[in-house]
Amino acid sequence: MTSSGGATEVGTIEHLDRGPLDRHEMARIVARDIPAGSYVNLGIGQPTLVSDHLDPDSGVVLHTENGMLGMGPVAVGEEIDLDLTNAGKIPVTELPGASYFHHADSFAMMRGGHLDVCVLGAFQVAVNGDLANWHTGTPDAIPAVGGAMDLATGVRDVYVMMTLFAKDGTAKLVTRCTYPLTGLGCVSRVFTDHAVFLIADGQVTVSETFGISVEELRSRLAVPLLAR
Amino acid sequence: MRVVADPDEAVAGVQDGATVLIGGFGPAGQPVALIDALRRSGVSQLTVVNNNAGNGETGLAALMAGGHVKRIICSFPRQSDSYVFDGLYRSGAIDLEVVPQGNLAERIRAGGAGIGGFFTPTGAGTMLAEGKETRTIDGRDHVLEYAISGDLALVKAFRADRMGNLVYRKTARNFGPVMATAATVTAVQVDEVVEVGALDPEVVVTPGIYVDRVVVVRTPG
């Protein structure tokens, strides 16, 4: 396995013998690409799985929006303390060196560009890095944004972890988002079950594929794909 | 600042139509005893500011179910157990203003810090910025967000001294310290009150200047 970020420094790798990835395998690939020593926020849902794959020696420090750095694994049994939860309101633990702070500080940390990486789910990502992940825009949907816009706007590297295709088969990597936007031009990397994509300067580069070739990807996506 | 006998005394005097800042991130840090007292007071037409819109049928959810709330300002109303709010919202019985979480926290901070508003990049270019003044600063679009302040803040802390200095527990701190600064009257429920001098000044999170009423409500277990 390559070291952190290693996949970006070589040519496109086609893993035709494995894939599509399940969510745990995707989480492992995301964890691999988080640079050692990063301060990281993991979004609720699938991105929380990434923490299971981080090397404890990597020096990665997890931030939770509700006011903590140094978040540890999910609490079990007697560890459960209802005053110590993550962004998904699930009881968690604290690691040595943890700190607590109030909400305005937590989001100042985010908005001020102090967090290195966040990992978010998405409905759609566009070639220009636009992200849509908070609202389907349907009339009966209750809008709920939480910290998604703050993360998309403030964190230096926004990683997205999602399936490449929606349940109805439509691609989620698109020319232009049709769902309401969360942030503009913010996404730098997209980890999917079929491939990893790098986004920069309005262009999408395939860095790695899983069980599919770059040519097949090109035939299934409407967006222009570069390979190296 | 005074230590009061019960939660009802802590919320006494709130008027119909008041804006109430309520701490908590989901259940953690939610001042349930104070919210229950607010409900018993029979006050109506409240605007509530909270990160969420209630869980299950207790605390904030019960306040909304009782018809005391006409409007809620929050970042994340929809949760797996927010069915009380969901029903009221869909029937048109409650108004909702959705605010990105960091903008919500900063608007409250601004309210307590005497700042009328601020320009933030969060939300720029999205539907939550529609109708708001936008300015390009250092080449980046920023949205004008106005301060939020309340008539009453309800906060849960861990420990207070008799001057109202507060310390919190873990992530239950969340919105408490900013909300405590931003209301005309700040009422706090704590697990215990200690004598003046018993709290290390270096670890006080909320200085007593922001606190008006403290009531002891022991957390079960």
pLDDT of residue B221: 57
Residue B120 inside a domain? The answer is no
A65 flagged as catalytic = yes
Q: In this complex, which of B98, B176, B205 lies closest to A144 when CB atoms are compared? A: B98
Closest CA to B65 of B48, B88, B97: B88
ipTM over 0.90: yes
pLDDT of residue A125: 98
Closest CA to B176 of B162, B190, B163: B190
Cβ pair A146:B76 closer than 8 A: yes
pLDDT averaged over every residue in chain B: 97
**Digit-coded pLDDT (tens) for B8-28:** 999 999 999 999 999 999 889
pLDDT of residue B201: 98
Q: Catalytic: which of A9, A65, A79, A216?
A: A65
Residue B139 inside a domain? The answer is no
pLDDT of residue B217: 96
- Beta strands (DSSP E) in A77-156 are 92-100, 117-120, 124-126, 131-132
Cβ pair A153:B103 closer than 8 A: no
Closest CA to A98 of B170, B31, B190: B170
Residue B140 inside a domain? The answer is no
Residue B102 inside a domain? The answer is yes
Task: Domain count for chain B, please give it.
Answer: 1
Residue B208 inside a domain? The answer is yes
pLDDT of residue A5: 46
Number of C-beta neighbours around residue A220 at 10 A: 13
**Digit-coded pLDDT (tens) for A189-219:** 999 999 999 999 999 999 999 999 999 999 9
Q: How far apart are the C-alpha atoms of A66 and A102, rounded to whole Å?
A: 7
**Digit-coded pLDDT (tens) for B125-141:** 999 999 999 999 999 99
Q: Least CA distance to B85: which residue of chain A? A: A142
Print the domain residue range for B82: 2-115+148-215
Q: Phi/psi at B220 (nearest 5 deg)?
A: -60, 145
pLDDT of residue A9: 59
* Structure tokens belonging to residue A54: 């981080």
Min Cα distance A185 → chain B (Å) is 11
Low-confidence ranges of chain A (pLDDT < 70): 1-9
Residue B220 inside a domain? The answer is no
Low-confidence ranges of chain B (pLDDT < 70): 220-221
Cβ pair B121:A142 closer than 8 A: no
Per-residue burial over B144-155, b = 16 or more CB atoms within 10 Å of its CB, e = otherwise? ebebbbbbbbbb
Q: Which fold has domain A10-226?
A: Glutaconate Coenzyme A-transferase (3.40.1080)
Tokens 């299971």 correspond to A52
Q: How far apart are the C-alpha atoms of B95 and B57, rounded to whole Å?
A: 19
Residue B123 inside a domain? The answer is no
**Interhelix angle A103-111/B101-113, nearest 10 degrees:** 120
Q: How far apart are the C-alpha atoms of A19 and A226, rounded to whole Å?
A: 20
Q: In this complex, which of A83, A101, A107 lies closest to B28 when CB atoms are compared? A: A83
Closest CA to A160 of A12, A42, A13: A42
Closest CA to A181 of B24, B220, B125: B125
Report the side by side order of strands in the sheet with A173-174.
Answer: A131-132, A124-126, A173-174
Instruction: Say yes or no: B86 contacts chain A, CB-CB below 8 A.
Output: yes
Closest CA to A75 of A94, A53, A97, A51: A94
Cβ pair A145:B26 closer than 8 A: no
CATH number, position B71? 3.40.1080.10
CA angle B4, B10, B12 (to 5 degrees): 125
